[in-house]
Structure 1
Amino acid sequence: MTAFQMILVAAGVIMLICLLASMVLIFRARDFLTRTVVSDVVFYTMIAIFLVWSMDNQTSIAYEIVILAALVAGVLPTISMARMISKGRR
């Protein structure tokens, strides 16, 4: 195992711990707004874990998936979260 792979594994473990902590917060939170915001944190963490995984495993479409997820994750969740927070009012 190279030093780069050890760094990737360490980063993946840290992100996995953060993902699990966010999931626990979603299940324990009582208010709707906290669950909405933390669900975006879970999505971004999953994208980051995939990006770290794709740095060590060669695939032909890995970076396109990350770029598409970043573009879509930048616009659509923001709009949907704003609608959830405002309870559908425009």
Structure 2
Amino acid sequence: MTPFYIISTVLVLIIAISLASALLLILTAKDYITRAVVADMVFYSMVALYIIWTMNYSTSIAFDIMLLAALLAGVLPTLSMARILSKGRR
């Protein structure tokens, strides 16, 4: 086991704990605004987990998917959260 693999395993554990706490917050939140914001956190943590996995197990398509997820991570969640907060109005 290399030091990079150990560090990435620790990072995966930290992100998994934060992901589990975010999912728990989604289940216990009373208003939809909190759920929308925490759903973005879930999306970003899933992208981070995939990026860490890609660094350890590289394939030919993995970097393309990682780049696409990084590009879309700034646009799509922001648009969807804006639509949720404005209740669908334009």
Q: Which TM-score band (shorter chain)? A: over 0.9
TM-score, L = length of structure 1:
0.94
Unmatched segments (≥5 aa) in structure 2: none
Can you list the C-alpha shifts for 1:20-48, whole angstroms capped at 9, x where unaligned? 01000000101000000100100110010
Runs of 4+ in 1 over 4 A off after TM superposition: none
Which letter does structure 2 place at the counterpart of 1:65?
Answer: I
Aligned pairs, number: 90
Q: Does 1:58 align with 2:84?
A: no
RMSD of aligned Cα (Å): 0.9
- Structure 1 unaligned residues grouped into runs of 5+: none
